[in-house]
Structure 1
Amino acid sequence: MYKVLLIDDDVPMLQYLEKLIDWSSLQMELVGQSFSSEIALDIFQETQPDIVVTDIGLPIIDGIQLAWTFREMKPDVRIIFLTCYEDIHYLKQAFQLEANDYLIKDELTDQRLIDSIRKALNWIEARETSQERLALKQDIQRNKVLLKEQFLEAVFKGKSEQDTREFGKRLNVQLSHPGFRLALLRLDMKSMVDVYEMKDYALLQYAVYNIVEEFPTEKKITPFLYHNEGVYLLYNIDPASVGEDSMQGSFLSFIDEVSKIVKRYLKLNLWVYYCPDTVGLNCLDHSYRQISRYTEQAYYSPQELTQAPIRYVSYATMEPGGFDKELELVQQAFKKENPQLIDLALSNMRKRAMEQRILPSMVREAFEAVVRSTVLEMHAPMMEHLYALLKNSSHLEETEQLAKTALKRHLQYALNVKPGKAKDPELEKINSYIDDHVCETVTNVNIANYLHLNPSYFSRYFKKRYGRNFTDYVHLYKMDLAKSLLDNPGETMENVAYSLGYSDRAYFSKVFKKYVGTSPSEYKQRISKEK
């Protein structure tokens, strides 16, 4: 049954409309009648009718205004207007509203009203059919993505080439040429967390897949969503008709165009791994293993576009509890309600991992352990989708950024503070850069490049805007962190200096005394006595 609401400020007219036709024979249910536009709004909100029959000349809120409000509340509601006379102004507005009909009361008959109701019903049923078709199309598309994933899995596992080709042809995968090249596109999660929620990762992967799917490539390049690894590109070519350099140039040019579109529309960067060899379909499993191996080998590489080599990169292992000091610092950040200590702890983890070239899987596990341990300690809600992203992160900076984002959101939860807009967006951006590079030397040239400004101009601008030069600001910023670290009884001055990017202990002591007014050892003694 479809629901109908009748509105007219003339009560006898309402009674006439109710009895004019047999509503139930048209599969209609009268869910309300109203002589007041205000009451009609309440009834509409409560009953959500499919069709509204309303007088135009209502007092206070006329029928046109009322219909616009109904459309905002339920965009697909059908409107049938009633009026005592034909007015071109009302006709135009009814047309803009895409009303189903505009009926003159003096000419109203049961058949005319039935015809109008049937016209509205036809529109509703056609829309429902259209939605069903769209849902079916979406189901088919989703199934096709899954079937393509199964096809790629058969290729990567070296299944029978003949069976695999038959499977691929049914899915319209380009297989007509004997040569194939393989590449993997992975979302840069560091750029993702600034724009999207972590739970959106799978949806964004699908968006990248669709961008490739809709890209005009004469069907030579087929995209595949493969597990949580990313979007694989299968380039089908004829090696006899195209040179190796030309093939590679064409493939990389296509990938570059896709990367630009993803950057433009999704505001995301892509990590790209590709195999330089042209192989047969039955050898693509070898290309897949090369790319899989190099996604791990490139963990410490800053390059967005990476050619998969056959060489092996060795890594160091780490003893259990190797990052216990950093874990303590993160937990201290929660106790002191100081998010900068989170940045300092995780920056130190990144710096040590980079210097020692620790096995990537161990680094990911260490960052995950720091987040999980802190969350358990603070009784905050778990973010399981985050841990899946951490395990899947491609680069060290990604791992660090994901962990930082999670910990800061947990800290906000613990403080019952919702993320809000920064009081000074420019200074917040500068502070964010210092936080990310707190264990390094930060100069006005670094920050000017980060902000895409001339260093001289930035120095003058910063001094004028904030009343001190940028070097003093960085030192003051770091000395506040140094004081927090020195509050810990077991913390040494050497470790604090190293953590904040001061390689020379004497220089650190000099800077500390200049900005704090006392030496680090004197400060530590004073804090100890106060405690």
Structure 2
Amino acid sequence: MECKRPFASNRMPTPALRYISEFPLPKTHRCRRTTPVYKVMLIDDDVLMLKFLRQLIDWEKLGLRICADAYSSVKALDKFKQEKPDIVVSDIGLPQMNGLQLADRFKSLKPDVRIIFLTCYEDFHYLKQALHMNADDYLLKDQLIATQLEDTLKRSMKAIEDHIGFDAQSAYREDFKRNLDVLKTSFFDQLVKGSSDEHSLLGYAERLGMKWDYPLFKLSIGNIAYSSLISRYPCKDVEVLRYSVYNIASELSERHEGIYVFHYKGEVAVLLNFRSAVTTKPQEYLEAYIREVRRACMEFLKIDLHFIHAPDSPMLGAIRDVYKRMLRNKHHAFYSDPTYVEWSSKQDVYHPAGHLFDAVKKGLIKAVQEGNDASLNQSLLQMQETAREQRINPQEWIQSCVDTVRFLELKFANKTADEAFYSVLESTLSSNDLLSLMKWKLSELMGEVHAPVETGLQEAKLRAVDQYIISNLSENVGSLEMAQHLGLNASYFSRYFKRLTGENFTDYVHKFKMGIAAKMLENTDDMVESVAMKLGYYERSYFSKIFKKYTGVTPSELRNKGR
């Protein structure tokens, strides 16, 4: 239900373009290509997907040329600087820099580049409604067909042609609209840093469509409740979701006069501009808007939000001080797990953790090793109760959790550490979020440690191991080298191989090579030293010792038996 402002004038926020259009801008000559051939760049960390895109359509027939492709964001940025493509088709879920961050870098280098995003999200249709980053389209990978890609590319080409035909004033308006979010972020940065005087801030705000006629403000800060997303989205997509939340909040703010939304440092900052009067209830008005934002995020993204608001009603120049106090005491509501609470300027009293969590850490490690889910839950609950009762400093508790999970992931994980997860874990502002993230990650590790070995996979892996040993008979093949060859974490490979064969990798290699040595000694006249060297053993005494351990006889005894 739309919340009507009980203290507003009849004025609605003036559209930003109205102010921009009042500025005199130079005219330019129209310029159009005679034979349009636009350059396209493809980006995806899946090499097979890049090959699929190249073969999906006839690019030249459309008037397009693939000038470059890349499977990492770093290489993509380098190639973009070299080629300056007209259109970029990019995966969103890239490592290092995701597709949205990469697109921002591209636009800073070439503002008129057209962006088409590829995605694999299960809730793609919800994200598509939420994300409005001026991309030409968001295409679902596993449903992508030639006609769909061609239609999107044609729209991109049309947009390029239209842009080429714009005069300077139209181009300026388009750039302003495209970069409005960036400009708003820059404005909010100046506002909370106090780097501009009030007169300049008011002028800047008006040019962005925010004409602040009233003297007072209310500030509220929103963050994603990670406990609501961890089972649905990968941590690497949190930045995408933050943009989604911001766009939903921005769209809803257009129906609430006096409310303005900013995306700043991963948070949603909401400012309400109002005038003081006996009959007005600005806090209720702001709360009604925030409830609407939370409902929309649950509906479209299936995630919840935490909001903290300041009880103060500062004037423009004092917003900076209110924001800084909130930032310094950002864990104020850590133990109350808020959905919407009033922040207090009263300093929280917290105590150092010391060695308080040592016993709990041991319990967590043991639970993961044993695959005991009940014990894991009990240890996490004990950690939470201890932290709450002792009022442990939230930052110390978070760091203790980070250290524990890193240790366990290094010990048990079959892949490299998920740094996006740790970034999310370190940014938690709620004890419930912290425990939910811990439970999810440790349960995942537990599943890897105790996953059953499948027969088909076992045979395939052993064939790969045997083939590698045969290809490197004269080398001393170790578990680290083999793990790298198979693309596995070394620690995980050692545990996995032991579960697979019942013996450690070193014993397996020795036994495998001694089997080959026995056949060579039986079927050839090669000297023992020569056989040993061919198999990577450069001391006869050591070779003989290993040979007897696994065959029960020495090389000489075996050869003498055959004569």
Aligned residues of 2:218 and 2:273 also touching (Cα < 8 A): yes
Match of 2:339 among 304, 309, 332: 304
Match of 1:372 among 406, 424, 434: 406
Unaligned stretches of 5+ residues in structure 1: 1-24, 29-42, 53-70, 79-119, 419-531
1:128 maps to a residue whose letter is: M
Cα shift readout 1:11-41 (whole Å, capped 9, x = no counterpart): xxxxxxxxxxxxxx9999xxxxxxxxxxxxx
Aligned residues of 1:174 and 1:222 also touching (Cα < 8 A): no
Matched, 1:203 2:212: no
- Number of the residue aligned with 1:399: 434
2:330 maps to a residue whose letter is: T
- Number of the residue aligned with 1:282: 317
**Structure 1 Cα separation of the partners of residues 56 and 360 of structure 2:** 58
Aligned residues of 1:273 and 1:295 also touching (Cα < 8 A): no
**Structure 2 Cα separation of the partners of residues 199 and 76 of structure 1:** 27
- Number of the residue aligned with 2:294: 259
**Structure 2 Cα separation of the partners of residues 44 and 309 of structure 1:** 54
In 2 relative to 1, CA 325–163 (structure 1 residues): closer, same or farther, beyond 3 Å?
same
**Structure 1 Cα separation of the partners of residues 319 and 182 of structure 2:** 19
- Number of the residue aligned with 1:153: 189
1:187 maps to a residue whose letter is: I
1:293-332 maps to which residues of 2 (within 5 A)? 293-319=328-354, 321-332=355-366
Cα shift readout 1:304-351 (whole Å, capped 9, x = no counterpart): 2111222222111121x4322222222223322334333222221111
The secondary structure found in structure 2 opposite 1:296 is: coil
In 2 relative to 1, CA 307–126 (structure 1 residues): closer, same or farther, beyond 3 Å?
closer
- Number of the residue aligned with 2:157: 128
Aligned residues of 1:275 and 1:290 also touching (Cα < 8 A): no
Aligned residues of 1:190 and 1:402 also touching (Cα < 8 A): yes
**Structure 2 Cα separation of the partners of residues 44 and 369 of structure 1:** 42
Aligned residues of 1:49 and 1:77 also touching (Cα < 8 A): no
The secondary structure found in structure 2 opposite 1:263 is: helix
**Structure 1 Cα separation of the partners of residues 396 and 374 of structure 2:** 25
Matched, 1:183 2:220: yes
Higher RCO, Cα 8 Å, sep 6+? 2
- Number of the residue aligned with 2:58: 49
- Number of the residue aligned with 1:361: 395
> Among the aligned pairs, what percent are the same residue?
22
- Number of the residue aligned with 2:552: none
Matched, 1:412 2:465: no
- Number of the residue aligned with 1:291: 326
In 2 relative to 1, CA 220–132 (structure 1 residues): closer, same or farther, beyond 3 Å?
farther
- Number of the residue aligned with 2:209: 172
Aligned residues of 2:369 and 2:446 also touching (Cα < 8 A): no
In 2 relative to 1, CA 260–124 (structure 1 residues): closer, same or farther, beyond 3 Å?
closer
- Number of the residue aligned with 1:226: 264
Aligned residues of 1:165 and 1:175 also touching (Cα < 8 A): yes
2:305 maps to a residue whose letter is: L
Cα shift readout 1:208-230 (whole Å, capped 9, x = no counterpart): 111121113355211111113x1
2:417 maps to a residue whose letter is: M
In 2 relative to 1, CA 189–131 (structure 1 residues): closer, same or farther, beyond 3 Å?
farther
| 1:125 Cα deviation from its structure 2 partner | 5.0
**Structure 1 Cα separation of the partners of residues 366 and 400 of structure 2:** 18
In 2 relative to 1, CA 278–417 (structure 1 residues): closer, same or farther, beyond 3 Å?
farther
The secondary structure found in structure 2 opposite 1:325 is: helix
**Structure 2 Cα separation of the partners of residues 385 and 141 of structure 1:** 31
Cα shift readout 1:285-309 (whole Å, capped 9, x = no counterpart): 1221343355312111133211122
**Structure 1 Cα separation of the partners of residues 272 and 341 of structure 2:** 17
Aligned residues of 1:193 and 1:402 also touching (Cα < 8 A): yes
The secondary structure found in structure 1 opposite 2:271 is: strand
Aligned residues of 2:413 and 2:445 also touching (Cα < 8 A): no
Aligned residues of 1:259 and 1:270 also touching (Cα < 8 A): yes
**Structure 2 Cα separation of the partners of residues 127 and 200 of structure 1:** 25
- Number of the residue aligned with 1:110: none
**Structure 1 Cα separation of the partners of residues 191 and 335 of structure 2:** 30
- Number of the residue aligned with 1:475: none
TM-score of the pair, normalised by structure 1: 0.53
2:158 maps to a residue whose letter is: T
2:265 maps to a residue whose letter is: H
Cα shift readout 1:360-382 (whole Å, capped 9, x = no counterpart): 11111111111011112225421
In 2 relative to 1, CA 233–401 (structure 1 residues): closer, same or farther, beyond 3 Å?
same
In 2 relative to 1, CA 273–408 (structure 1 residues): closer, same or farther, beyond 3 Å?
same
In 2 relative to 1, CA 324–170 (structure 1 residues): closer, same or farther, beyond 3 Å?
same
Aligned residues of 2:218 and 2:312 also touching (Cα < 8 A): yes
Cα shift readout 1:81-106 (whole Å, capped 9, x = no counterpart): xxxxxxxxxxxxxxxxxxxxxxxxxx
**Structure 2 Cα separation of the partners of residues 362 and 173 of structure 1:** 41
Aligned residues of 2:224 and 2:242 also touching (Cα < 8 A): yes
| 1:402 Cα deviation from its structure 2 partner | 0.9
Aligned residues of 1:174 and 1:219 also touching (Cα < 8 A): no
| 1:133 Cα deviation from its structure 2 partner | 7.5
Aligned residues of 1:290 and 1:308 also touching (Cα < 8 A): no
- Number of the residue aligned with 1:338: 372
What root-mean-square deviation, in Å, do the aligned CA atoms of Structure 1 and Structure 2 show?
A: 3.5
The secondary structure found in structure 2 opposite 1:75 is: helix
Computing the radius of gyration from Cα coordinates, the structure with the larger value is 1
Cα shift readout 1:176-234 (whole Å, capped 9, x = no counterpart): 32221110111111111132222221111111111121113355211111113x10001
| 1:130 Cα deviation from its structure 2 partner | 3.1
- Number of the residue aligned with 1:438: none
Match of 1:247 among 264, 282, 298: 282
**Structure 2 Cα separation of the partners of residues 205 and 162 of structure 1:** 31
The secondary structure found in structure 2 opposite 1:345 is: helix
| 1:44 Cα deviation from its structure 2 partner | 12
Aligned residues of 1:45 and 1:73 also touching (Cα < 8 A): no
In 2 relative to 1, CA 338–238 (structure 1 residues): closer, same or farther, beyond 3 Å?
same
Aligned residues of 1:188 and 1:270 also touching (Cα < 8 A): yes
**Structure 2 Cα separation of the partners of residues 247 and 206 of structure 1:** 26
**Structure 2 Cα separation of the partners of residues 363 and 200 of structure 1:** 25
**Structure 2 Cα separation of the partners of residues 151 and 44 of structure 1:** 40
**Structure 2 Cα separation of the partners of residues 193 and 131 of structure 1:** 39
| 1:259 Cα deviation from its structure 2 partner | 1.5
